[in-house]
Amino acid sequence: MIPGSAWNWIAVKQSNFKPKMNKKYMKPNRWFNRNGVFSHLRIAGAVTLMSAAAAVAFVAVNPSGSFLIGKSNVKNLTPSNHTMSPAALRLASPETVAGVNGPQFSLFSCQVGLSVGQCYDPFQMRHAYQIDSLISAGFDGTGHTIVIVDAFQNPNLVSQVATYNTFYGLPATNLTQIAPDGLTPFVQGDPNMTGWAEEISLDVEWAHNIAPGANIVLVLAKTNQDTDILSAIKYAVDNNLGDVISMSFGEAETCVGAPGPDLISAYHDVFVSATQKGITLFASSGDQGAAQPTCDGNSWMKSASNPASDPLVTGVGGTELHAADYCLASLGCDPSTHPSPGTYQSEIAWNEGPLGDFQNNFAATEATGGGFSVIVNEPPYQNGTDGLHGGHQRAVPDVAYNGAILHGVLTYLNIPGIAPGFYRFGGTSCGAPQWSAITAIMNQKAGARLGFLNKAIYDIGKHQNQTAFHDITTGNNSALEFDSMNNPVLITGFSAGTGWDATTGFGSPIGPSVVDALIAGVSPGDARSAIATTNAHPNPTVPGQMKPH
């Protein structure tokens, strides 16, 4: 066993789930946006399938240098090429050490005000959302299990996680990896596999950072076809592998399975089974604001993302968190007048690019996903919610978490073909595993699985004087993207406001308050009622069409 990690490996050939569907493949296709300040490398991904919602920022050594950013978004592929790929966005180089030390470990330039934006380590993030007080009280997820679903593999994950834990003095990660349909060999240089390896790194490291006592089970789909992802989720649910499942991927809901079988219903059936077993479900809401790629992969449309839009799943949007840096006298900062590192200061809706923050650093929009379903009716738990304006459709997201790239989280990578180092990650993929970790802590404190959370979230959030969430009232998720011909596409999104909104839901967690409120608010009948009163409709006749709300 490698120091700093406790791990197991299981590879099984699943035979009890064989959906009868046509196999659909893709080949990566790259294209460059030449209109922006920085050249953006666009790595082609799924047409009608899911893309992992991570946006990873690799901050350049010289912040004034070129930002090379890779991301899955427009998929200029033939209709038969349907797969999932991670929406990974990164700059060119690892973070640079600031030349100064914190209490027990080295600090990076982005932690001490010497870089564009900010970045956060595990202790800053815990402090910002007050998770540190829960951990100090003995609630760290011990005795509970977080299931993370991803595709392909990260061949160096065990040693990578051990290096991260050693650097920050974290306990060993109790990690089990399962490949239910067989493990696909990693191909160095394959951008699709590399993107998923990055997604795996973010998910595992940051679930452990927030709930260091929890077990982590990583379930790996053999490819990023959505039928394979569905098979992996079903395996996790059928075998009751954990208390909570984190899903950092999504796509326009009208494209799920189109033009093939109706996979919306297939996914919903698995989520019903999970909810019946008391398994909590989280999914990222997307990384291009109110926009999603069209079903043919050539342009953009206004759309909610699935599986976040499923009524049994808690959709997680993104914020831009402003929290205190490390204050060092050697850099001219006075620690006596500066808040402790990670102290919460403010948040806005995550929107980086032409229509939001850091307009000079991003040629196209990177922003929190959110909007209204055209497939799923408004579930009863959303009835009467201010911000929905009397709508009749499922609205997302439900909650939020820091997802800004240039206010991102530090994640260690050692993936073949990538320079080893600490990198800055953003995207709504940051939120799904960390909310899952909070749920493991919550289950530990409650002494049992809480299961379905959405009704309690809305009961809490609807109260004007609620203290469980940071209410995000500034920003929007409008998006400026570029189609496959490099033409600009403007998608008008939604604005943040008091209470629920289609950018950040009810907001980000206030650790102890949200944990206690949900423990008190969840009722055993919530799950049964949700299953009985919600459903996912078949795909529209014409995939990709949106109806105004």
Judged against a pLDDT cut of 90, whether residue 22 lies above it is answered with no
Are 304 and 253 a contacting pair, CB within 8 Å? yes
Three-class DSSP labels, 453-468: CHHHHHHHHCCCCCCC
Judged against a pLDDT cut of 50, whether residue 80 lies above it is answered with no
CA neighbor of 393 nearest in space, from 416, 427, 370: 370
CATH numbers and ranges of domains, the chain: 5-533 (3.40.50.200)
Judged against a pLDDT cut of 50, whether residue 63 lies above it is answered with no
Distance CA 114, CA 352 (A): 20
DSSP codes joined into one string, 273-318:
HHHHTT-EEEEE--SBTTEEE-TTSSSEEE--EETTTSTTSEEEEE
> How far, in whole angstroms, is CA 539 from its chain's centroid?
25
pLDDT digits (tens, 9 = 90+) for 339-384: 999 999 999 999 999 999 999 999 999 999 999 999 999 999 999 8
Mean pLDDT is lowest, of 54-63, 104-113, 167-176, 423-432, for 54-63
pLDDT above 70 covers a percentage of the chain that reads 79
Q: Say what angle helices 525-533 and 454-461 make with each other, to 10 degrees.
A: 100
- The burial class, CB within 10 Å (0-12 / 13-18 / 19+), for 475 is buried
* CB burial string 296-322: b at 16+ within 10 A, e below: bbebbbbbbbbbbbbbbbbbbbbbbbb
538: left (phi over 0), alpha (psi -120 to 50) or beta: beta
- Report in angstroms the alpha-carbon separations of 508 from 56, 198, 397: 20, 24, 11
Mean pLDDT is lowest, of 150-164, 205-219, 288-302, for 288-302
pLDDT above 90 covers a percentage of the chain that reads 70
Q: In the chain, how long is the greatest CA-to-CA distance?
A: 65
* Residue 157 confidence (pLDDT): 98
- Report in angstroms the alpha-carbon separations of 418 from 200, 245, 537: 15, 28, 42
Mean pLDDT is lowest, of 288-302, 336-350, 380-394, for 380-394
Rg (CA), the chain: 21
Distance CA 362, CA 382 (A): 35
